[in-house]
Chain A
Amino acid sequence: MSQPVSPIREPLITGHKTYHDITEDLVSPTEKTTVSWALATMAAALMLGYGVFCLIWTFWVGIGSWNVNRTIGWGYDITNFVWWIGIGHAGTLISAILLLFRQKWRTGVNRAAEAMTIFAVMCAGLFPATHTGRPWFDFFMFPYPNTRGPLWVNFNSPLLWDLFAISTYFTVSLLFWYTGLVPDLATVRDRAKGLRRKIYAFFAMGWTGSAKHWQRFESLSLILAGLATPLVLSVHTIVSYDFATSVLPGWHTTIFPPYFVAGAIFSGFAMVQTLMTITRKLLKLEDYITIAHIESMNKVILLTGWIVGTAYLTELFIAWYSGYIYEMFAFYNRVFGPYYWAYIGMMGCNVLSPNIFWVKKFRRNVTITFFMSIFVNIGMWFERFVIIVTTLARDYLPSSWSYYWPSWVEIGIYLGTFGLFFTLYLIFVKVAPVVAVAEVKAILKTAGDQYVGVEAAKKAEATAH
């Protein structure tokens, strides 16, 4: 050990891994099929199937099979859309912004987070596409040259901005994810035989690991990170415009963009936590996704939770301060109205519960982290529900006030998106290393426990003596 060893810096890879160990540990799950994996995939596919059935039902019968009504035109559909989009924020944030900030701990979780992003965006995209009354005419949303005048789309509409924002985000995230996968796919290829080898060879795009490849890989990663960083902020900003540009009290607020972005990161990190705590356990990746990783993410959750909480309180204050009766009533209604339970759920899960992470012990506790991550996502779901449904339920004219509760079809479609998400995620863990092999190897010498941390320091000392 010639280099100096920091006793303070916590190792990000434990278990005295060698490069070969890392390859073995991370690639082997793609090479064997376990019963639990098969069962989980089947369950997920079943849920997906039910969702597909509910969608077909919707197409056949009409949006009337949902319980949205003349007052509350959006219910589960857009709530779930915004929720999934929010979840889809963590991946790119981890990959892009943390890459730019040179945060090494990202390497343990970025692959899974990026995959999660892509699948979450797919789940999210499903809702705007299918919530329309005539989904077979969704292509009207695209500004394609046509013989109707030509008739263009309405560039004033936030829904159109959404379409562009989300499709851009999806494309860039996909590219980023795939770029990162290439060296690992090559690793898998090198270990594989027969047809499997051919398939991986195709997707590895002839990666040989030459210095030139690595150089290009690094530059591309940086470029994509640069591209993706503003997207992280823009996507949810634009989603928030769906509400912020309207005239409804409770929607029409300038606070929405930062509030939505913070909320998205909040929920995205929570979802990463949920997935990672399960994945590391099932795939025995505790050495790569360490308590240090979990703690870092919990810190982000604590921070964004506070941002979101501040936003909630600011909203209440501004409503009172405005002196405008409709604005005031909108917030009275949120807190005390018929959907008071959603508000309590939102406040409880998003503002109160993350405070548990002030305590280091809890931050580093996997069980608590797991339950907290679920709480946060429930809270964030409530937040979207509160913003969308509660606001619509009671707006300007009391004559039109109404109440909304989802129908079995809406619940089914929501379950279906979980099915889609987990099906894709499970396929993903089966076909690609769930932790970025190459990137973990890259930090082994600077973050492996034989090189950094208390133990390594002791060892280094001992050797020096």
Chain B
Amino acid sequence: MENKTKKNHTWIGVDQLNKGAEFQEAVEREFQDVPLADNVEKLATNRRDFLKYLGFSLGAATVAASCDIPVKRAIPYVVKPDEIVPGVATYYASSFVNGGDYCAVLVKTREGRPIKIEGNSLSSVTGGGTSARAQAVVLSLYDTNRFPGPGKMENGRFTQTSWAEVDKAVKGSLSANSRVAILTSTVLSPTAKKVLEEFKAAYPDTKVVTYDPVSASALLQANEECFGQRVVPNYRFDRADVIVSFAADFLGTWISPVEYARQYAANRKIEDVHKAKMSRHYQVEAAMTLTGSNADHRVLVKPSEQGAAIAALYNEIARKAGKPTVSAPRVNDKAAALLKQAAEDLWANRGKSLVVCGTNNKGEQVLVNAINDMLGNYGQTISFANPSLQRQGNDPDVQQLIKDMNSGSVDAVFVWGANPAYELPNAEAFAEAFKKVKLKVSFSGMPNETTALCDYVAPTHHLLESWGDAEPKRGMYSLIQPTIAPLFDTRQAEETLLRWAESPNLNIEAEQPYYEYLKAAWERDMFPRQTKYATFQNFWDMSLHDGVFELEEQEPSVAFAGDVQAAAAKITKPANSELEIQFVETVHIGNGQYTDNPWLMEMPDPINRCVWDNYLMVPVVFDGHRHFDCDGPFAGFNQEEFYGYADQAEIEIAGRKAVVPVVRQFGQMRGTVGLALGYGRTVAGKAGVNVGVNANPWLTIDADGNTQYFNTDVKVLGKAGKYEMASVQYHHTMGVTGKLEGSDEVINVDEQAVTTIKEGYQGALVDRTIIRRANLPELDKFVEELKEERREAEHLNQQTLYPYEEYKEKYYSQGHHWGMHIDLNACIGCGACEVACMAENNVPVVGKYEVFRHHEMTWLRIDRYFYGDYENPNVVYQPMMCQHCDNAPCENVCPVSATNHSSEGLNQMAYNRCIGTRYCANNCPYKVRRFNWLDYTTADLFPINENEVNGEAIYADNLVRMVLNPDVTVRERGVMEKCSFCVQRIQEGKLTAKREGRKLEDHDVKTACQTACPTGAITFGDTNNEKSAVRKQYESELNYIVLEEIGVRPSVQYKARVTNKVEELG
């Protein structure tokens, strides 16, 4: 061996050849650790190298330093407040109050900034539900258009001054016998009412004039006449098996929609298919409201026919009750037939029925009270225990004030929470009269048409900066507490009034004078009324913690004392005009109180799905073959709606002309049109200025001085050009039907028209597995069919190369698997979830033009589909968001794996990885993915390419950015985004459970849409947890999966829509 080795010996160096001892040692050691220092001398940098390195680093540093990177300072607390833990949200119970709009809420704050509104489930009024208006209030806090402090107004121009100066000026022009008018919208706060009393004590000649932006004045007057109580009674929709509503949009806007929606849904949800029971709802109206769209039957009457319709129902019931009938004009035949059926239903359900009326005519309201009285509903479904105080305005008062101002008998007017120069039907007359008043002050925090006319602005705090209380229903109190220090130099209006009244009860030396005042008031008035807490401090702390303090009232006995015959004489008489217009309050922006809020402006109208505008809603007619057109004078309008263009109509109402864009509206009665209130503001925050048409000047005032929300003098002058229609959904239906021309055959118009080039109605084939609906009597049959169809779909889905069952067993059944359930029967389409989602997930607002281009960013949308008779269809709403498919088509097409599946069944987006090919969005069958087309959030590299919303790059301002949820990434231009199932909340819930060392439970994780929903239509949870609510919901036989047969395995289940129609009525 030795020899052989030697023979073939090769060597690398002399050392190896010689095999000296040193070499042997080196071989043995293998890894030599020669100290580097030994060689330092050789490596030492010489002078030239040193100069080279120096030169390079200097050059590099210079180049790097020339890039100007702005310094952002984060200043830590010197003494950290106990309640603020960075990264942990703090919730404060408070109330959302704007005039008569009320909602008990929890305000979520992060690092001292309110960023989100949640419902307060301790409130028995709203029960944890919210509305879109309540959800959006956080954005209005950070509105850059707010007044920075008190100021003097000259010719509508604002000059900031100091509070001392304003106080001096106001007090200087007031004397003890000054005739002061305080003009307010509904004041819900009992303490604020005391403030007004104190002010009255100081200035005895003070009148408080209250009106509501959308009035319920006649309702209050009628109840005063009939029952001696000027209140809105306590309606109990949950106890009513038959509901008849005359133009009362109680689910959307009327009095207390969050409360009513919860009650309404409670009696509409179907828990057990085989013992299904639900209320039947008739809605009598001309323009489709949110409530009407949810009704089982809509009874179409013209606005001027409402009185006749009410009288017709009254007479039907009176005949059954053996009471004298009233003489009244006849209502149209179709309506009469339906009302007859309604009367049958009502009579059969005496004491379990409810008739409500939203018209502002005292006679009509008295008749409705009489109907309810004959039906024995008082004490059952209507009660005067804890009646609602959410509308307190009296229209004649404000008309009287205008007269008084004109006659010079008013020295000073303080406007508080109202905008009469815009909201009143005779706003111009108001403005004229207002100018004659010597001292005019507004407490508004935002510029509006009225502040422009004032002498001084004494801006009050934003709601979220205020102390206060509210009494939405008698005996039901709730508190308002500040969640952030005032952002501007504002002062609460109550405090301002007390200072001007020089109230001895206000300690102006205190840090928060009004807080002390409020607390004292509660100690004096509220504390003695309860027995639970022994000390006031205890009581106060708990009330503040809970946000509510409620006292149940005993059911009082009431007797109807209305004069029915006199009332019948007062009802509206049907007009003979060819065209009538109904003015409707929208769910989102009211009568202009919310037009400053971009979230609400961008929330699509639930019915016509348009944003950032009020469109003239025009009825559609069907040619009996395959073509839809607009009715009557609008024939030929909006033929290009599905290309994104509307036609503008020039209309003349009561001599006043305007140009309005038109939208075709199914369910709008022929011979009528509808138009939303609240648009066309001329002085407002940037988002609201010059958007749409102001409808208020067209309102009329009836003999009682009440504002009427319709006009019968409407002329159409013609087309006035094309309009870029900012609509998120055109009028594709789920199968509307109509009669075939020349026969009685009822055809499905969508199917009929599908093969018509261009001119045809652009409908869909209707057997789409998207919406499942049934009528109550045939529910069992429906369930069987649904089962069969789902079996078939599952069979198809099994035909796959990929072992889904195996994945399911191996992955999806392990740990958590998040799922959602949506009850379409409980969803009323109110849109609270849409706004909540925008707030929670930093979803940007894109503006009118971008929505026109279908660039809206909403992660959650509520699809609206019509079905049934084209003239009077039913509507189904479908909240649609990412379905988190377990076999997601979006995931496998992403070239960079930016969207992928979590082990918990979530379809995730890694924004940083996304390059924006948009393939995922194309391949999404539900079209829920949203792409950042432009720099919507001011989050990208380029400094001057932000998208402007009504002339304002809103997110470019640091104040507005304070509303952003720090838990959710703000997405850059060019990346895809979509619903994440509120993954930040899931993560937080998991951490909470982990920290507490227990299993995760339902209450740990609730999505933003779920908590916002007033009716509890949305359930979210872990489908692998057998005890979870969502698992329980998954058991219903009415459940289905949208597009189940395409095998994408969504994690969202829907519960079919069920109506309770009288079949013969169709």
Contacts and interface: CB of A to CB of B under 8 A. Distances in A.
Interface of A: 60-65, 67-74, 128, 131-135, 137-138, 140-141, 151-154, 156-160, 163, 242, 245-248, 325-326, 328-329, 332, 335-338, 340, 392, 394-403
Contacts of B975: 133-134
A399 B915 contact: no
Contact of A61 (B732, B889, B893, B945): B945
A401 to B, nearest CB: 6
A395 B925 CA distance: 7
B724 to A, nearest CB: 12
B758 interface: yes
Contact of B1048 (A154, A247, A326): A247
Interface residues of B, number: 70
A68 to B, nearest CB: 7
A62 B762 contact: no
Interface stretch (B198-206, B525-533, B570-578, B852-860): B852-860
A189 B550 CA distance: 100
B732 A399 contact: yes
B628 interface: no
Contacts of B536: none
Given A133-B931, A157-B894, A325-B765, 4 more contacts: A69-B933, A398-B734, A398-B768, A399-B864
- Chain B interface secondary structure, helix, strand, loop or mixed? loop
B893 A397 contact: no
A151 B855 contact: no
A92 B350 CA distance: 84
B925 A247 contact: yes
Contacts of B893: 156-159, 245-246
A336 B921 contact: no
Nearest to B1047: A247
A400 B864 CA distance: 11
Interface in B835-855: 850, 853-855
- Which residue among A153, A396, A399 has the maximum number of chain B CB atoms within 10 Å of its CB? A399
Contacts of A160: 895
Contact of A156 (B758, B892, B976): B892
B837 to A, nearest CB: 16
Nearest to A405: B643
A403 to B, nearest CB: 5
B937 to A, nearest CB: 12
A421 to B, nearest CB: 24
B915 A134 contact: yes
Interface string B935-977: 1000010100101000000000000000000000000111110
- Which residue among A64, A65, A329, A403 has the maximum number of chain B CB atoms within 10 Å of its CB? A64
B41 interface: no
A74 B922 CA distance: 8
B895 A336 contact: no
A337 B897 CA distance: 35
Contact of A73 (B765, B878, B922, B926): B922
B884 interface: no
B798 interface: no
Contacts of A69: 853-855, 933
A423 to B, nearest CB: 28
A141 B895 contact: yes
B1004 interface: no
A384 to B, nearest CB: 14
Interface of B: 642-644, 729-730, 732-734, 754-758, 760, 762, 764-765, 767-768, 770, 850, 853-856, 861, 863-865, 878, 880, 889, 892-897, 913-919, 921-923, 925-927, 929-935, 940, 942, 945, 947, 972-976, 1043, 1046, 1048
Nearest to B641: A403
Closest A-B pairs by Cβ, 7 of them:
A133-B916, A133-B974, A64-B933, A398-B732, A64-B934, A73-B918, A69-B854
A138 B1043 CA distance: 33
7 contacts: A133-B917, A134-B975, A141-B896, A163-B895, A397-B926, A399-B732, A399-B863
Contact of A397 (B642, B863, B895, B913): B863
A336 B760 contact: yes
Contacts of A398: 732-734, 764, 768, 770, 865
A246 B922 contact: yes
Given A62-B934, A70-B931, A329 B861 contact: no
Given A134-B972, A398-B764, A399-B864, A154 B897 contact: yes
Contacts of B1046: 247, 396
B768 A325 contact: yes
B973 A397 contact: no
B926 A402 contact: no
A371 B542 CA distance: 85
A246 B918 CA distance: 13
A386 B918 CA distance: 18
A325 B1045 CA distance: 11
Contacts of B925: 247-248, 395-397
Nearest to B922: A73
- Which residue among B734, B895, B1046 has the maximum number of chain A CB atoms within 10 Å of its CB? B895
B405 to A, nearest CB: 50
B765 A332 contact: yes
A157 B890 CA distance: 10
Contacts of B770: 396-398
Contacts of A133: 914-918, 931-932, 973-976
A296 B768 CA distance: 49
Nearest to B858: A70
Given A62-B934, A247-B1046, A67 B853 contact: yes
Contacts of B865: 398-399
A70 B756 contact: no
A132 B917 contact: yes
A424 B583 CA distance: 63
A133 B854 CA distance: 17
Nearest to A139: B915
A63 to B, nearest CB: 6
Given A62-B933, A138-B915, A399-B732, A336 B947 contact: no
Nearest to B767: A325
B902 to A, nearest CB: 16
Given A69-B855, A399-B861, A399-B865, A61 B895 contact: no
A129 to B, nearest CB: 10
B556 to A, nearest CB: 48
A159 B917 contact: yes
A63 B864 contact: no
A179 B643 CA distance: 51
Contacts of B945: 60-62
B895 A154 contact: yes
Nearest to A326: B768
A151 B942 contact: no
Contacts of B929: 70
